[in-house]
C-alpha cells in the first residue's frame, strides 16, 4: 500500500514521553500514518478521520480503557483496538478481550516489538476481510440475473418474475426442471440477490450422499458420537446459518431422512448427532428436483407434510427446446466465454449452423448446449462455426427427422424406399402397409425416384 493511501493508526497515550516512543516506533514503517492524542475525548472527536487502527493506554485522565472502548465500538464496531496497559491484571485483560479488543499488551521492554507484530497481524486480517468482501461483491455481480441467467424468452421472463418475488422474502423455494435447465444457477441467483448474500450458499446433492450419511452431513455430529467421529463436525444446516441451503435432488431422500428433515424445518433448530445442544438455524431453504414430487407423494415415496413445507414458492424451469431464440443467445454467451478463457479471438457462427442448433431437442438442456458449443469451437477453423462442427451426442430419431431439410415429397420417397427394402421389394405388401395405391409406387419406380 502506498503512503498516500496509508494505514492510519491513532495512538492514545497521556504520557508524552511514552506516546512519542510509540509514535516514532510505528512511524518507522512508511506505510503507517501515525497520529497521537492525549485523551479519550480527543480521540472520539477525531474518529471521523477514519483511522484503520487505534491503540489505547488503559488509564487515561478522562476515562479508562473499557469505557473508551465501549464508546468507540458503539460508533465504529469494526475498528480494531489494541489496549496497552501498565496493569498486570489478567482479569482486566480477559474482560477486554471478551468485549472484542483485538489485543492487550503490557507496558514493558517488549511492548514495542509486540505492538509492531500485532499491527501487522491486524492489518493482514483486515486485508483478508476486505478481500472476502470484494469477492462476495463480485460473486453477487456474477450471479445477478442479467449476468448469470442468459435468455429473454417469455417462459424465462416468467421465471425471472418469480425469482424477484423470492428475493424479497425468506420464503422457501422449490425449483423443478429437467436436468441441465439451470436449477442450481437459479438457486444461487436468488441467494446472491437476497438479503442473505453476505452469508453462505451451501449446496448439498441428496442423490450423491449414501442414505446412512445424510443425517451427519446435514446436521453434523459431536466428537465420539460414533466410531470414527474423532472430531466434531459441523453440519450443512449450521454452515448455512444466516444464508441459504440448497438441497438438490430432494426426491432422492428416503422416508427416514425425510422425517428428520421435517423435524428440523418445523423446529428451526438442529442437534448434532451425539449432542444435546439445540442450535437455532436461521436458513432459507431452496430445494430442486427433476422428478414429479406430487407423484412421489401419491406413491407414498415422499411425505406429504414435508412436501407442503418445502414447496414454498414453486419455480418451474422450461426445457431449453421451449425457449426459442434463447438457444442462440446462450450459444453466443458460451462461445464468448470459451474464447476468453482460452485466449482465442472471438468466433462467429454461420447461419446454417444456427439453424442446426435451433432444430435440435436438447435432452441435456443448457448443460448439453454448452458442451457442444465448446466442442464445435475446438472442431472449427477458429473463425466461424459451421454446421459440420456441431455434433449432437444424444440425438434422437425425432431430432434427425426435423434436422433433415427435405420437402414432403422427399420424405415420402424416403419412407417408401425404407419399407420396400424392409419387405424385399414387395410392392403389394408395401402399398398395403403404407395404405397407398400400388400404382404410386410403380410410377415412382418407373421414374427412378426410388
Ligand atoms: N440460463 C442460463 N444461462 C447461462 N448458463 C446457464 C443457464 N442455465 C444453465 N446454465 C449453465 O448450464 C449448466 C447446468 O446448469 P445447472 O447445474 O444449474 O442445472 P441443473 O438444472 O441444476 O442440473 P441438474 O438437474 O443436472 O442438477 C451450468 O454450467 C450452468 O452454468
- One DSSP character per residue, 290-319 reads SS-HHHHHHTTSS-HHHHHHHHBEEEEPPP
Pocket test for ligand 1, best of 184, 208, 324, 372 (most atoms within 8 A of CB): 184
User: Ligand 1 pocket, 363 CB below 6 A?
Assistant: no
- The DSSP element (H or E) to which 289 belongs, if any, is strand 284-289
**pTM > 0.90:** no
- pLDDT recorded at residue 146: 64
Distance between CA atoms of residues 200 and 245, nearest Å: 8
Quote the Cα angle for 361-362-367, to 5°. Answer: 165
Q: Given this model, what pLDDT does residue 37 score?
A: 96
- Give the residue whose CA is nearest to atom 25 of ligand 1: 179
**Which of 139, 182, 191 gets mutated to test ligand 1 (max ligand atoms within 8 A of its CB)?**
182
Ligand 1 near 205 CB (within 6 A)? no
- What residues contact 184, with CB distance under 8 A and at least 6 apart? 203, 246, 248, 288
Q: Cα–Cα distance between 258 and 302 in angstroms, integer? A: 8
Which tops the pLDDT comparison, 108 or 3? Answer: 108
DSSP strands (E only) in 64-194: 81-85, 103-106, 173-176
Contact 203, 314 (CB under 8 A): no
> Which residue, by CA, sits nearest to atom 12 of ligand 1?
367
179 in ligand 1 pocket by Cβ < 6 Å? yes
Q: Take residue 397 and report the three cell numbers written for it.
A: 430419431
Q: What is the pLDDT of residue 4?
A: 45
User: For the domain bounded by 3-136, which CATH number is listed?
Assistant: 3.40.50.2300
Q: Are 318 and 177 in contact (CB under 8 A)?
A: yes
329 close to ligand 1 (CB < 6 Angstrom): no
Asked if the domains 3-136 and 144-318 are classified in one and the same CATH topology, the answer is yes
Using the mean position of ligand 1's atoms as its centre, give its distance from the Cα of residue 364 in Å.
10
- Convert the pLDDT of each residue in 5-15 to its tens digit: 689 999 999 99
Domain boundaries, the chain: 3-136, 144-318, 321-402, 406-446
Separation of CA 91 from chain center: 44
CA torsion sign, 358 to 373 to 389 to 361? Answer: negative
Asked whether the beta carbons of 26 and 82 are under 8 A apart, the reply is no
> Which of 142-156, 193-207, 429-443 shows the lowest per-residue confidence on average (mean pLDDT)?
142-156
> Over 80: is that where the pLDDT of 355 sits?
yes
Torsion, CA 319, CA 323, CA 324, CA 330, rounded to 10: -100
The arrangement of secondary structure in 321-402, i.e. its CATH architecture, is Orthogonal Bundle (1.10)
CB of residue 366 inside a 6 A radius of ligand 1: yes
Our answer on whether the CB atom of 188 is closer than 6 Å to any ligand 1 atom is no
* Coil/strand/helix, residue 76: coil
Q: Given the CA of residue 290, which atom of ligand 1 is nearest to it?
A: 25
Best probe residue, ligand 1, of 143, 174, 185, 394 (max atoms within 8 Å of C-beta): 185
Contact 206, 250 (CB under 8 A): yes
Q: How far apart are CA 203 and CA 182, in angstroms?
A: 14
Considering the four listed CATH numbers 3.40.50.720, 3.30.365.10, 3.40.50.300, 2.30.30.110, the one that applies to the domain covering 144-318 is: 3.40.50.300
- Split at pLDDT 50, 70, 90, the class of 397 is low
| Closest to 357 measured CA to CA, from 403, 407, 406, 394 | 403
Amino acid at each position: 500500500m502506498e503512503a498516500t493511501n496509508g494505514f492510519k493508526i491513532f495512538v492514545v497515550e497521556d504520557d508524552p514521553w511514552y506516546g512519542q516512543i510509540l509514535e516514532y516506533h510505528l512511524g518507522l514503517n512508511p506505510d503507517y500514518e501515525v497520529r497521537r492524542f492525549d485523551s479519550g475525548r480527543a480521540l472520539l472527536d477525531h474518529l471521523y478521520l477514519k483511522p484503520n487502527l487505534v491503540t489505547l493506554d488503559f488509564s487515561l485522565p478522562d476515562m479508562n480503557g473499557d469505557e473508551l472502548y465501549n464508546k468507540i465500538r458503539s460508533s465504529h464496531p469494526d475498528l480494531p483496538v489494541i489496549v496497552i496497559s501498565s496493569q498486570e491484571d489478567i482479569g482486566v485483560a480477559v474482560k477486554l478481550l471478551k468485549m472484542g479488543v483485538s489485543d492487550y499488551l503490557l507496558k514493558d521492554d517488549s511492548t514495542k516489538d509486540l505492538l509492531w507484530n500485532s499491527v501487522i497481524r491486524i492489518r493482514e486480517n483486515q486485508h483478508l476481510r476486505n478481500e472476502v468482501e470484494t469477492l462476495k461483491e463480485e460473486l453477487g455481480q456474477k450471479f445477478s440475473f442479467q449476468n448469470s441467467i442468459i435468455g429473454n424468452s417469455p417462459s424465462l421472463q416468467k421465471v425471472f418474475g418469480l425469482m424477484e418475488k423470492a428475493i424479497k422474502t425468506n420464503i422457501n423455494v422449490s425449483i423443478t426442471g429437467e436436468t441441465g435447465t439451470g436449477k442450481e444457477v437459479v438457486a444461487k441467483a436468488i441467494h446472491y440477490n437476497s438479503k442473505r448474500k453476505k452469508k453462505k450458499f451451501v449446496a448439498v446433492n441428496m442423490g450423491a450422499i449414501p442414505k446412512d450419511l445424510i443425517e451427519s452431513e446435514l446436521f453434523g455430529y459431536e466428537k465420539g458420537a460414533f466410531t470414527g467421529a474423532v472430531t466434531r463436525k459441523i453440519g450443512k444446516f449450521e454452515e448455512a446459518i444466516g444464508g441459504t441451503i440448497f438441497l438438490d435432488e430432494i426426491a432422492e431422500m428416503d422416508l427416514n431422512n425425510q422425517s428428520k428433515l421435517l423435524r428440523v424445518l418445523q423446529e428451526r433448530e438442529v442437534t448434532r448427532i451425539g449432542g444435546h445442544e439445540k442450535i437455532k438455524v436461521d436458513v432459507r431453504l431452496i430445494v430442486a428436483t427433476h422428478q414429479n414430487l406430487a407423484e412421489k407423494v401419491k406413491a407414498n415415496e415422499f411425505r406429504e407434510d414435508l412436501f407442503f413445507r418445502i414447496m414454498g414458492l414453486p419455480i418451474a424451469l422450461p426445457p431449453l427446446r421451449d425457449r426459442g431464440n434463447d438457444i442462440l443467445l446462450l450459444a453466443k454467451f458460451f462461445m464468448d466465454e470459451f474464447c476468453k478463457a482460452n485466449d482465442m479471438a472471438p468466433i462467429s457462427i454461420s447461419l446454417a449452423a444456427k439453424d442446426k442448433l435451433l432444430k435440435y431437442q436438447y435432452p441435456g438442456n443448457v448443460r448439453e448446449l454448452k458442451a457442444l458449443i465448446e466442442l464445435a469451437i475446438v472442431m472449427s477453423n477458429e473463425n466461424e462455426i459451421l454446421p459440420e462442427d456441431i455434433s449432437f451426442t444424444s440425438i434422437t430419431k425425432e431430432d434427425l427427422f426435423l434436422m433433415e431439410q427435405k420437402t414432403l415429397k422427399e420424405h415420402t420417397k424416403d419412407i417408401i424406399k425404407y419399407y420396400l427394402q424392409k419387405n424385399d421389394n414387395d410392392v403389394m405388401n408395401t402399398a398395403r402397409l403404407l395404405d397407398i395405391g400400388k400404382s404410386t409406387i410403380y410410377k415412382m419406380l418407373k421414374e427412378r425416384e426410388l
